[in-house]
Amino acid sequence: FEPCPSPPPSTSRSSSSKKKKNEEEKSKKRKSSGDDFEPSPPSTSRPKSANSTKPATNKKPVPDRTLNYWVEVYLEKDKKWICFDVKTGKMNTPADIEARLPKPIFYILAVDNKGYFKDVTRRYASDYITSTRKLRYDEDWIEETLKKFTQRSGNKSKQEDQELERKSEEAPMPTTVSGFKNHPLYVLKRHLLKFEAIYPAEAPPLGWWKSEPVYARECVHTLQGRTSWLKEGRTVKVGEEAYKVVTARPKYDRMTGTMVKDQPLDVFGHWQTEKYIPPPAKDGKVPRNEYGNVELFKPWMLPKGTVHIPINGLTRVLRKLNVDAAPAMMGWDFSGGGCHPVFDGYVVCKEFEDLVIDAWDQDQREREERAEEKREKRILDNWRRLVKGLFIREKIQAKYMKKK
């Protein structure tokens, strides 16, 4: 036997054919099992790094177009103020200035050459009535605060006020429900309060908002009950029917000690009332209500033939003189968690006025004399007590204390 330096070619071919057969069998198994995955050749491209991304283009900053200051010029020929934008050169364009103002708008104050202030918000706020007015503080407080810095009323100031008032009134009708609420010119029935009503009942609407009539604010009137109108010095006319019936406020019943609720209350308008005329005094007797008082809520409620004496404490004097009089009820006090009547003096017949006042003066002089006598007596008693105490002290010292 002699070794061969290289394997025979037949052997090598067979091995290669066996490998091919094995690969074919494996491929058939993959196909039968549904595994058709074939690995993709490795990519020759390089992975992108974070730094390889292109930088974003820098956007130019948007210029701030808000406007906080501008100029107003007074035209002597037209007698009015116009606005002037120094940046753009536009003149008399309040709408353009309003568009550039920071929102929301609260106050816009103008300062003249003399340093006086003027509230010109209505000139530049187109929605002053519907929105801006509700955002501002109490107007009375603002006027009181700026009173020292505002110019005294003159023709120029009055004309400007009329122009601002006219501009605010020319605003269009609101387009939302919230805009109609508390609007000074327009009102919807849904926004009427408990004691408010539209008069006359057949008042024509100024327009419509979604099939709901819009009425003028001047048609809205406040209604009150009979007692409330009496406090205003007015009484309901005879034969008038209630314009509206509402639920009365809860009232405390002293007899049962409970709160009475859900009681109907007839309310009337001002056009259904007349000035209260009290009955006159007769035979020296003062007319009074069921409680024995004279209601003097207004000056014309004083009964004819009587006079009001605003002096408290006349009861004893009137009892001595046997003169008929009634306490004068001036109003109500709602402090202390309740309602209490307020009295000021008495109402007597006019023929007894001088007699009562003279008797009051005499009574006051007598009171002063009695008070002075009482004061002098108290002073003398104090001196007597002091002197008596000094004598007793001297006697005790002389009798029981040794002399040095």
CA–CA distance, 75 with 156 (Å, rounded to integer): 11
pLDDT at 261: 87
At 63 the pLDDT is: 57
What pLDDT shows up at residue 250? 85
Instruction: Output the average pLDDT for the chain.
Output: 83
d(CA 98, CA 65): 12
- The reported pLDDT for the residue numbered 369 is 94
The share of the chain scoring above pLDDT 70, in percent, equals 83
Q: What is the pLDDT of residues 18-54, one digit of tens each?
A: 444 555 565 555 545 444 444 444 444 444 444 444 4
Q: How far is the CA of 333 from the CAs of 253, 320, 329, in angstroms? A: 19, 31, 11
pLDDT tens, position by position, 70-91? 999 988 888 889 998 888 888 8
Cα gap 99→88, rounded to integer Å = 14
Q: Give the residue with greater pLDDT, 123 vs 172.
A: 123
What pLDDT score was predicted for residue 7? 44
DSSP H helical ranges for 60-138 = 94-99, 121-124, 133-135
pLDDT tier for residue 3 given thresholds of 50, 70 and 90: very low
346-391 residue pLDDT tens? 999 999 999 999 999 999 999 999 999 999 999 999 999 999 999 9
133 contact partners, CB below 8 Å, separation of at least 6: none
